[in-house]
Each structure stands twice: as structure tokens, then as C-alpha cells.
Structure 1
Amino acid sequence: MQYITSAFKMCLSTLTQSIVSRKRLILALAALFSVSAAISLPVVADHCRQHVYQKWAEGWLAWKNDDPEAALEVWSDIGISANFSARPSRIEYWKIRAMEKLGREEEACLLKTKLAKRYPFDFYTFLIFSDGGAGSLGDACRSKAESLFYPNPWKKEVSAAAARTGVSESMILSVMRQESKFRKNAVSRSGAQGLMQIMPTTAKDESRSLKMETTGSDIKDPGNNILLGASYFARLSRIFSGELPRAIAAYNAGMMPVTRWNTLYADDWVEWIEEIPYPETREYVRSVLENHEMYKMLSGEKSGPPISVLMSEGPMPVEKLASVPGHKKSDM
């Protein structure tokens, strides 16, 4: 009986060691897989982004050469790689435009529904749906998204700046959200400061225009900073005769580059935005316009045309802007 017990214990010990060894092996394999994934994922993501960039450029060239069929074929070949790009919605939107140009309305309608469901409140979704695709979301989900991502801080200061400069509260909030994410002490690498990310030289110019007495330390004060930023935006809007995409682009890239870009040979404003040669400014314009639509929708503001007008109107040559009395395509 003793021998049987000893043999049983030995078997149990061997079995236990085997189980422990297998567990260790599984854990080791899992750890190895995790490390491999962590190393390889950035490589895969970069490869996908390169694939999207190449296909987008190829399709865009076809579109500009008035060949929507070739453009659609190339853009449709992007597949899931689009998810690794900054705005996957862009590919879907331009596929819709190509389908409509080819008379494939039914396919375009299906893709519009998909766009609204997958990318609600996106710049490209707003171009097609005035509510940004909110109709595809439940009330609770929509309300939570709005309150989390589109706050309305500094109400007193924003209202005062809007009243003094003529720039709408929704536009001030839209620029502020993109510039500083509402951080009053934000300072950029280039030296832009505060909620509206104003450069000290710009602050001096606007202070002089507003007859304000400000010092360097006053620039970050929320009330001053918002007013100076709104005043600068109002000046840019006047320079570009109310053409909102140009004014927004100039706030980010400066007035001279935007003037130099002129029409960028674009047939409409959406094409113009796609042709902006500075990637940061291109995304900045999309984001501010997207923010603007959200804040207008949240506040119930009815002023100005819907963002969809960007598809039907195009940029006027810069040299003609000053000679057109009352020319105003957008509303601040």
C-alpha cells in the first residue's frame, strides 16, 4: 500500500509540474505575442498610412482630371487601411461624390448612410447631413457626446468678445477648442499664447486696433486673449471678404500663404481645402469648420449658410475680392 501511495504521489507531482510548465509556456507565448504585436503594430500602421496616401493621391489626380470612374476604382481599393488615416471619412465622402458624378445614386445613398453611422459629427458627414448624422444616434449617446467633447466655457468673455468684434460665439468657441483645448495657459513652440493662441506681435496689433492697454502678461488673461483672438479673426475675415475657409486657414498659417495659394484651381471649397499644401492647416480648417457646425447645432444658432454650401461655391481669385462690393459667401 505504501508503494502504491508513493507512486501516486510521484505521478501527481509530475502531473503538477507538467501543468505548471504548460501554464508558464502559455504565459511566455502570450508575452512574446504581446511584445511582437507592440513592435510590429507601428510598422503595420505606417505601411497602411503609406498605402492610403498613395491611393488617395492617385485617385485625387484622376478626380482632378475629370475621371470619377478611375478615382472611385482607386479609392475603393484602399479598404481597411483607411482606418489608419487621420480621417477615414474623407475616403468615403469622395467615393460618394464620384458615385454621384457617375449617376450611381443608389450606391451613393447607401454609402451616405454608412458615413453617418460610422462618422457622426465629422466634417465630411456635416457636408452631407445638416445634423452631422445625429439622426443615426440615440438621444442619450448624442447628448453625452455633445457634453463631453463640446463644452462651452468662458461664457461671459466669449459673449463680450462676440459683441465687440462681430465674430459669432460659435466661431470663437470653435477656434478656441482647436487652438488650446480651452487651456488658458497654453503656449505653443512658436510662442503663441493663451486660449486663442495669439502671437505677441499679433496681440500688439490688435490691442492698438481695439485701443486696449495690454502688457505681455495680460495676453494670457482669458478675457483679453479671447477678445484679441476674435479681433484678429474678424480682421482676417474682412481681408478675405467673409470667405470662411480662407479666414480660418489664415488664422493658422498666416495671411500671406493663403493669399499666395489663391484658388488652388479648385472648383469648390471642399476641393480647395483638400488642395491646401500644409497638412496641419488642411486638418485645422476641417476641424474648425466641424467645431463650428457642432456649436451652431448645440446653441440653435441659425445665422449663416450650412456647411454644405462649401460643395456648391468656390473660391474667388484673391485679386478680385477687394473689387467686389458686398461680396460675402460665409458668416462668422
Structure 2
Amino acid sequence: MEENGSLYVTDIGKHEVRRYRRGESQGTVVAGGNGSGNRLDQLSFPQYVFVDRDHSVYVSDSGNDRVMKWVEGAKQGIVVAGGQGQGNGLTQLSCPQGVVVDQLGTVYVADARNDRIMRWPKGATQGSVIVGGNGRGGQSNQLYGPVVPFIDQYSKSELLELSYAYAPEKEYIVDETAKQFDIEIIRLPVRHCILNPIEICWAELKKSVRDQNTTFKLKDVEKLIWNWLNNCDSTFISNCIDHVQVYEENFKKADQFIEQIENELNDDDNIDNDSDLTEDEDEDKGEGEDEDQ
């Protein structure tokens, strides 16, 4: 969300980023929007977005293992991190997630599957590891599937406002209608695409077919699908489940963090209220002394 109130939304189904200005219901595509792919005018499963002061949009293009920058009004983006295939080299990323850009144009990105935070100076062809990169684990020099690089650029009140702004509504009209017909609606969790192993399998299948499809004939696509399914073993499924569990833990930590912020803000409000009461008492006391004189 920008200071002017514009909201930027990543749509992993349409492989695009949309900007919604105040009062808009349709929004405007500001990145991607040309189907899933690895061209400079395409995105593949975009995850996180960062908007700088010039309204340029930085997108973690997780399906292509890269971070892209889309200048305002541009028809295509430029690769500012990764883009050299999935891997753990300094020129590579693996399922990038949260991205933050400082005033110098330096990109900080959470390289989730490599369990590290990387820094890419403006114009650099490779990045450097600033946190993690020592395998997955709980040691002081390790990370476990990081999602965001850092959050200290936001104040506590801004974080709380963002958490409320993006929280799903708890009540829906359809729920009331369903109750009338004795129907129970079961919803997938928030951000369900990365919290369900089957969605990860589906994404990998589509990526495999896209990379190998050269004829664009239906029968050949069907062969590619069956070939992938026949080679999909228990190890791959287990890895997908492990990947989901990483995100579950990260979201649990995020929930705990928000609760902590709420408690701290409530404490701050109580302190402010106590200060106001003290000032009022001092004023009343002063007025009473003036009347006695």
C-alpha cells in the first residue's frame, strides 16, 4: 500500500500485479498480465510486491526465480535479481518471496528455498548473502524458509493497519444464504495456493509442460503430462508437504508478531491516557488554587 492509499495486489492465478486507487473497483495492471511465462512482459506466480517513491513496482517472480522491476507505465519489466534459473549460486534464486528496495535501489530478497536473505546492489549481475545461506535449521547462522527480508521500515501502527487492511472478512452474505438451505461452506485457508501441497504439484506440472512444449499440439501436451505424473515419486510429494509446513510455521510466527504489536500499541495507548489524566488533574488543581486566591 502506498502513502497515497493505492493498493497493489499480486494475482498468482492471472500472473499479474494490479494497482487499485482509492474508489476503484477494477484496478490497473502494472506488471505482467500476459499469461504465465518467462518473457520480460510476463510473470509466473508472482508473490510479493514493493513500490518505490517513483511508483516503480518490484515483484518477486517466484515461478521464474527472479525479481523484476516495472517502471510506472512500462509494458515490460527488467530483471534486477536472479533470472538465471533455479539454484543456489550468487546469480540465482530459488522461489523468491518478500522483497524490499532501499533509496539507493539495492534489492533485498528472501530466497526461501535457499534459506537465505540476499542483497543485490542496483545494476549488479550477482547478489551477496547477508543472512543465512548455511543450510536450513534453527542455529543462529541459519534460516528456515524466510518469507520477508525485514520489516523495520514500518512503524508498529503501520504494521497493525496493514494487518487489518489485508485480513479477510469474517462474515459473508453467502454464509447466511447457505444456512437457510442447511449448507456448510468450507473454505481453503488464506493464501491457500502455498498452503496446499497439491497446488505446488500443479504448479510444477505446468512449469514442466511449459518448458518442454515445443509443438503446442494437444496430444503432445498430454504425453508430457503423463510423463511428469509417472515420474512423480513419493520424495517429490514429501518435499511439497515439507514446503507447505515451512509456510505454516512462518504464518504462525506472523500471527504471533501481530498479537505482540497489538499488545504493545494497547500499552502505549494506556500510557497516553494516563498522561492525559495527569495533565487534566494538574490543570484542575491550578484552577482551584487561583479561585482560593
| Pairwise TM-score range, normalised by the shorter structure | under 0.3
Which structure dedicates a bigger proportion of its chain to helix? 1
Hey, which of these two has a bigger chunk of strand by percent?
A: 2
Q: How high is the TM-score relative to the length of structure 1?
A: 0.25
Structure with larger RCO (C-alpha < 8 A, sep 6+): 1
TM-score (norm 2): 0.27
